[in-house]
Amino acid sequence: MAEPVQASPAHEEHHHEQSFWRKFIFSTDHKVIGVQYSVTGLAFLFFGFCLMMIMRWQLAYPGEPIPLIGSLLGENRAPGGIMLPDFYNELGAMHGTIMVFLGVVPLAVGGFGNFVMPLQLGAPDMAFPRINMISYWCLFLGGVTMFASFFLPNGAAGNGWTSYSPLADIALNGQTAWLIGMIFLITSSLLGAVNFITTAVQLRAPGLTWMRLPFFCWAQIVTAFLLLLAFPPLEAAGVLQLMDRVAATSFFLPDGLVVGGEVLEVSGGGSPLLWQHLFWFLAHPEVYVLILPAMGIVAEVIANNSRKPLWGYRSMVYSLIFLGFMSFIVWAHHMFITGMGSVMSTFFQTTTMIISIPSVIILSALFISLWGGSIRYNTPMLFALGFLPMFGIGGLTGLPLGLSAADIPLHDTYYVIGHFHYVVAPGTLFALFAGVYYWFPKVTGRKMNEFLGKLHFWPSLVFMNGVFFPMMIQGLNGVSRRLADGGITYDFAGEVAGLNRMMSVSAWCLAVAQIPFIINFFMSIRNGEKAGRNPWNSTTLEWLAPSPAPHGNFDQAIEVTRGPYEYSVPGSDKDYAPQAEPAST
Amino acid sequence: MMDAMFPAAASEHAGEIDNMIDAVHYLMLVLFIVWGAFFLYTLMRFRAARNPKADYVGVKSKASTVGEVLVAIAEGVLLLGFSIPMWAERVDEIPSEADSTVVRVVAQQFAWNVWYPGADGVFGEADPYLTDEATNPIGLDRDGAGADDIWTVNQLHLPVDKAAIIHLTSKDVIHSFNLPNMRIKQDAIPGLSIPVWFVPTKTTVQIREETGNPDYVYEIACAQLCGNSHYSMRGFLTVHTEEEFQAWLDEEASYLGDSGTDDFFN
């Protein structure tokens, strides 16, 4: 991005030279902000993964001193290098929080959404560039708060990423910092969502009708609505829980609590279940916030590398919108065993089965899109193809959990962990890697290395399954999640505790498999193969802009004349027809 | 198919839940194999080297719509035929208390307090201010109906082949009462009393014979994160014959002193 700012016909005011701070730190350019989000997201994904790798030692070798770093963790976390259960709970809660709110969302929405969507819309920037900047810095503050909470005297929050009350109300750990951090993160997402929706409505290039919009943009729009409508209840709930902790209110505390033999001196009268409803009212749509942008990326990469239009584009878009809507009325399937009656459970399991249908339609359409293609197996495509069966496993394993009777033995077991990690790790993360490899040339002007890319993909695929598939087996055996000793206290769980070693070794190998990516990422910024405007021979508008694109994005007027995926049009000698014709050079 | 993985089943409804999980997994397996086979074939058949020119139209058949309808039908059958009626049986068809063993379980960090109504069959009053972790963890008022109540820590005893109704609550945070062998899991939530019921069908002696493990125990696990010792919140269920159960209850009752406190267990 170190190129001088170029003239842009749309944005005359950007002619003047900007200071380093305005250009790279407090930038209002959606591309710089997108890169800031992406780098922050990738860094937190790495950090969250590190937390998990420490946990996986404790699961595989409970009670044994952690090698190498054990002595660095401090006496209040791991005396003699042996992890305390409290520290295990901190790591667990923060792993979830960081991966979801500081890893995947910033990368998938803040990063790709910010960088790619305005380019795909043919827009010079987001509708509200300053709000965009504020959104990033709210995320940054939230991230700093979460990170710093590890250094509080009582450690970080350790009540699960779900932070159920009353435990989270009365916990002595860093739950207050968690809530403050969450309020920053939620504010960030809300500001971003308003911006995304406005941009998509207002700033589409001439001729870019809704049904000519790339699927990725549709995914970002639906995601933005989910964030906009689902996050405010959690923000409110977060403030209420904060008040319970610091102002002695009892929103989530009932009467007559006895903690450690003492009656808790609070006014009481609150409801612990209220927190769960407010939390899951966000957190279920949040699942789709994690998955829809991933589907969007996969759709782009598959269309491009199968060299043919997406099959069933319209039904995919309608399914996406329906999915977004339905995601607001399935939340209580996370709460089947809170004492739910027949009426409620019937409603929520029925909506849960219904929501699986649009997911099946989208996934089927992506599979079918490959048929008749001329498939190029480059790194972005490998990751996009890897997404399909992995997300398939994640979706399928949701079935027994979504049916309340089958959920009884499986609820809160490792089956659940395996299920949603298949969705989010080899699912969403693979899609995000596909996106990194795919749009890297647009960001830097250079392609990433193919050999290192493949060296990243294949071991990642193997070890992801090595980590997550055994979780299904443990779950079917009934092993509860969030056990600081991996389940060895229980006879029934002890039978499959041995799988923990295989999973932990897989997790550490998975970390090694990321080294080629890290090398590739930094090496390619300077030394990658130079990419022109359109290295993948793609059709969508972002590839009309120079690589890297200047402030203001396009150096030509854009008139969209086609749908987004006009590949291999019969009668044309070129196998792609861009949405807008490039200016003749 | 998956029976080998489940903990040994020992309640009346366990079989139907296991069958349902089996059925869902068969459906999943079929879908995965069909999708997977199509996927792998497509990847080989339409690789660029073999198919240098892509087909603009691609698939013309409506087979995928048929597939989607079949998936929807299968889900409908699972929902209407299995899950909804089975759930209704669990939460709406609670047997009468007269024909059942009625127990209260009060969860706390990090133990299961099990509370029987005693000879009079009536539970006494509880008052949080009477709570003493050592001598009275459930805050039981020994005046009135509570005089003959029995409580234990982490030891649930039930007679075989008779419905057990357990009223669950918690003193402090949310716990989850998990009996893997009985296919029972229910959150224990402070401020709420939630009934859960099942019929144990195998005594502890029988399950030991069946599994060939003389040390086999029915375990009670906590399934909801409840604090730093969540991982060790282990309780035990012992299933007796009716006579053994009565003998156990009588023995417990005999420990109740005139003063009405039963500090024996501590």
pLDDT of residue A16: 61
Amino acid identity at B28: M
pLDDT interval class at A3 (50, 70, 90) = very low
> What is the rounded (10 degree) CA torsion for A115, A117, A122, A124?
-50
List residues bridging with B104 in a β-sheet.
B115, B167
**Parallel/antiparallel/unpaired status of strands B164-170 and B101-108:** parallel
Mean pLDDT of B87-91: 94
Tell me the nearest-neighbour CA distance from B152 into chain A, angstroms. Answer: 17
Write the pLDDT tens digit of every residue in A27-51.
Answer: 999 999 999 999 999 999 999 999 9
Tell me the nearest-neighbour CA distance from B60 into chain A, angstroms. Answer: 10
Whose CA is closest to A126, among A237, A51, A222, A201?
A: A201
Q: Which of B51, B87, B225 sits opposite A374 (nearest CB)?
A: B51
Chain B residue with minimum CA distance to A312: B59
CB proximity under 8 Å: B 20-79 to A: 20-21, 24-25, 27-28, 31-32, 35-36, 38-39, 42-43, 46-48, 51-59, 64, 67-68, 71-72, 75-76, 78-79
Topology of domain B97-265, per CATH? Immunoglobulin-like (2.60.40)
Distance CA A175, CA A166 (A): 12
Q: Which of A261, A306, A406 sits opposite B54 (nearest CB)?
A: A306
Beta-carbon contacts of B188 under 8 Å, excluding residues fewer than 6 positions away, are B105, B106, B107, B168, B169, B170, B174, B175, B176, B177, B194
Domain membership of residue A577 (yes or no) is no
Mean pLDDT of A540-553: 94
Distance CA B28, CA B218 (A): 31
Is residue A2 scored above 80 in pLDDT? no
Amino acid identity at B162: K
Could B36 and A389 be called an inter-chain contact, meaning their C-beta atoms sit closer than 8 Å? yes
Tell me the Ramachandran region of residue A232: left when phi exceeds 0, alpha when psi lies from -120 to 50, beta otherwise.
alpha
CB proximity under 8 Å: B 213-252 to A: 216-217, 219, 221-232, 234
Mean pLDDT of A383-393: 97
Phi and psi dihedrals of A384, rounded to 5? Answer: -65, -40
Inform me whether the C-beta atom of residue A570 falls under 8 Å from chain B C-beta atoms. yes
Inform me whether the C-beta atom of residue A129 falls under 8 Å from chain B C-beta atoms. no
**Parallel/antiparallel/unpaired status of strands B150-153 and B111-116:** antiparallel
Write the pLDDT tens digit of every residue in A58-86.
Answer: 999 999 999 999 999 999 999 999 999 99
Inform me whether the C-beta atom of residue A491 falls under 8 Å from chain B C-beta atoms. yes
Name every chain A residue with its beta carbon within 8 A of the beta carbon of B139: 258
Q: Which of A167, A263, A476 sits opposite B2 (nearest CB)?
A: A476
Name every chain A residue with its beta carbon within 8 A of the beta carbon of B28: 396-397, 399
- Report residue A574 as tokens: 């070129």
Chain A residue with minimum CA distance to B17: A406
Write the pLDDT tens digit of every residue in A79-127.
Answer: 999 999 999 999 999 999 999 999 999 999 999 999 999 999 999 999 9
Could A389 and B35 be called an inter-chain contact, meaning their C-beta atoms sit closer than 8 Å? yes
Name every chain A residue with its beta carbon within 8 A of the beta carbon of B236: none
pLDDT of residue B63: 86
Inform me whether the C-beta atom of residue B5 falls under 8 Å from chain A C-beta atoms. yes
Distance CA A242, CA A234 (A): 12
CA-to-CA separations, B146 to A262, B180, B234, B246, B264, in angstroms, rounded: 21, 31, 26, 19, 17
3-state secondary structure of A51: helix
Residue A422 sits at the vertex; the CA angle it makes with A421 and A426, to the nearest 5 degrees, is 100
pLDDT interval class at A573 (50, 70, 90) = confident
Mean pLDDT of B176-183: 96
Q: Which of A153-157, A319-323, A377-381 is the least confident region? A: A153-157
Distance CA B116, CA B124 (A): 10
| The 3-state secondary structure of A336-402, one letter per residue | HHHCCCHHHHHHHHHHHHHHHHHHHHHHHHHHHHCCCCCECCCHHHHHHHHHHHHHHHHHHCHHHHH
Mean pLDDT of B34-41: 96
More confident call, A384 vs A13:
A384
Is residue B45 scored above 90 in pLDDT? yes
Amino acid identity at A325: F
Give the structural domain span for A465.
32-205+213-252+269-544
Is residue A9 scored above 50 in pLDDT? no
pLDDT interval class at A585 (50, 70, 90) = low
pLDDT interval class at B64 (50, 70, 90) = confident
Longest CA pairwise span in chain A (Å): 82
Mean pLDDT of A304-311: 96
For residue A356, what is the domain's CATH number? 1.20.210.10
Could A259 and B109 be called an inter-chain contact, meaning their C-beta atoms sit closer than 8 Å? yes
Phi and psi dihedrals of A463, rounded to 5? Answer: -75, -30
CB proximity under 8 Å: B 78-97 to A: 78-79, 82-84, 86-88, 90-92
Domain membership of residue A192 (yes or no) is yes
Name every chain B residue with its beta carbon within 8 A of the beta carbon of A492: 7, 180-181, 219, 221
Phi and psi dihedrals of A148, rounded to 5? Answer: -65, -25
pLDDT of residue A10: 47
Inform me whether the C-beta atom of residue B266 falls under 8 Å from chain A C-beta atoms. no
Distance CA A302, CA A391 (A): 15
pLDDT interval class at A493 (50, 70, 90) = confident
Phi and psi dihedrals of A286, rounded to 5? Answer: -55, -35
Distance CA B163, CA B200 (A): 7
Write the pLDDT tens digit of every residue in A234-266.
Answer: 999 999 999 999 999 999 999 999 998 899 999
3-state secondary structure of A165: coil
Name every chain B residue with its beta carbon within 8 A of the beta carbon of A337: 176, 185-187
Beta-carbon contacts of B265 under 8 Å, excluding residues fewer than 6 positions away, are B151, B152, B153, B255
Write the pLDDT tens digit of every residue in A455-481.
Answer: 999 999 999 999 999 999 999 999 999
Q: Which of B64, B90, B225, B266 should we substitute to test contact with A (largest number of A Cβ atoms within 10 Å)?
A: B225
pLDDT interval class at A8 (50, 70, 90) = very low
Q: How many domains does chain A have?
A: 1
Distance CA A510, CA A504 (A): 10
Name every chain A residue with its beta carbon within 8 A of the beta carbon of B225: 89, 159-160, 164, 167, 481-482
Per-domain residue ranges of chain B: 14-91, 97-265
Mean pLDDT of A438-465: 97
Number of C-alpha atoms within 13 angstroms, CB side, residue A1?
Answer: 18
pLDDT of residue A584: 67
> Any idea which architecture B14-91 has in CATH?
Orthogonal Bundle (1.10)
Average pLDDT, chain A: 94
Could A408 and B184 be called an inter-chain contact, meaning their C-beta atoms sit closer than 8 Å? yes
Inform me whether the C-beta atom of residue B19 falls under 8 Å from chain A C-beta atoms. no
Name every chain A residue with its beta carbon within 8 A of the beta carbon of B174: 164, 166-167, 272
pLDDT of residue B3: 75
Could B32 and A393 be called an inter-chain contact, meaning their C-beta atoms sit closer than 8 Å? yes
Distance CA A178, CA A163 (A): 9
Could B21 and A166 be called an inter-chain contact, meaning their C-beta atoms sit closer than 8 Å? no
Is residue B260 scored above 70 in pLDDT? no
pLDDT of residue B1: 65
Distance CA A189, CA A174 (A): 23
Domain membership of residue A387 (yes or no) is yes
CB proximity under 8 Å: A 458-487 to B: 473, 476-478, 480-485, 487
- How far from chain centre, in Å, is Cα A527? 29
Could A167 and B46 be called an inter-chain contact, meaning their C-beta atoms sit closer than 8 Å? no
Inform me whether the C-beta atom of residue A271 falls under 8 Å from chain B C-beta atoms. yes
Could A403 and B24 be called an inter-chain contact, meaning their C-beta atoms sit closer than 8 Å? yes
Range with the largest mean pLDDT of A2-11, A428-437, A486-495, B126-135:
A428-437
Could A483 and B230 be called an inter-chain contact, meaning their C-beta atoms sit closer than 8 Å? yes
Name every chain A residue with its beta carbon within 8 A of the beta carbon of B224: 164, 412
